[in-house]
Amino acid sequence: MPATARLYAEALSVAYARAPVLDHLSAEIPDGALTVIAGLNGCGKSTLLRSLDGKAIHRQRSRAVARKLAILPQSPAAPEGLTVRDLAARGRTPYQSALRQWSNQDAAAVEQALELTGMVSWAGRPLESLSGGQRQRAWIAMALAQDTEILLLDEPTTYLDLPHQIELLKLVQKLNRETGRTVAMVLHDINLAARFANHVLALKDGRVFCQGRPGEIVTETVMQSVFGLACRVIADPVHGAPYVIPL
């Protein structure tokens, strides 16, 4: 794999209960990019996201992996009464040990994560008192507090209404641009993917069908081949990104 791709899968096959999900798949996530993994339900998007790493992930200690990449799964859950700051502090768990307890460095990482996500004012609030969008920001703050260069988000806009989806994706885009973090996320809305990503990876039948910039991937031919969707693709009149109009 190229030296510029620290996050990749090579000849990866994954099955659940002997049912194949990924079939000898090879993929790479460009460093510093905001990559969206797209495809039909059940094509292996979330499985691929959980399998990515620059080394054979099963040979590494979980603590070592957590210091290199942060992953936010679908619909994460937290104990009742946990505050936003408490949740963000859990992102520092990979750095804790019997010999290394909470430090000023940990506190600074948590405060920076809260600031980056705009959650400082809500830091003392319990998660259950927040809106869906605010809760997602709190979870992202926890991931940021891990202080990794790679951030993996599995369907971060699930259960959010459209305004909160846009708000969250703007935040992720800002983090990518301002901090240089490599971000890979699973999204179902191809128009949002085209608007916010600078790299799109399309899966079909457990393999990478194609990947590249949104303008190269979000085309009528690819939409028909990957999603079985007859459509027209035009330029978004506001943002210039490809925009899919189903027929």
> Structural domain tally of the chain?
2
pLDDT reported for residue 100: 77
Instruction: Please report whether residue 50 resides in a domain.
Output: yes
Same domain, 84 and 49: no
Same domain, 33 and 141: no
Same domain, 153 and 56: yes
Same domain, 117 and 133: yes
Same domain, 93 and 199: no
> Measured between alpha carbons, how far is 52 from 143 in angstroms, rounded to an integer?
17
Q: What is the CATH number of the domain that holds 23?
A: 3.40.50.300
Same domain, 64 and 152: yes
Same domain, 142 and 165: no
Same domain, 205 and 98: no
Instruction: Please report whether residue 244 resides in a domain.
Output: no
Domain that holds residue 152: 1-68+148-213
Instruction: Please report whether residue 219 resides in a domain.
Output: no
Q: How far is CA 43 from CA 18, 19, 188, in A?
A: 15, 12, 12
Predicted structure pTM score: 0.85
Instruction: Please report whether residue 103 resides in a domain.
Output: yes
Instruction: Please report whether residue 243 resides in a domain.
Output: no
Per-residue pLDDT of the chain (247 residues; tens, 9 = 90+): 344 566 777 888 888 777 778 888 888 889 999 999 999 988 888 888 877 754 555 555 566 667 778 888 888 888 889 999 999 999 998 888 777 788 899 999 999 999 989 999 999 999 999 988 899 999 999 999 998 888 999 998 888 889 889 988 999 999 899 888 899 999 999 999 999 999 999 999 888 999 999 999 999 999 999 999 999 999 999 999 999 999 9
Instruction: Please report whether residue 111 resides in a domain.
Output: yes
Same domain, 87 and 130: yes
Same domain, 30 and 127: no
Same domain, 127 and 158: no
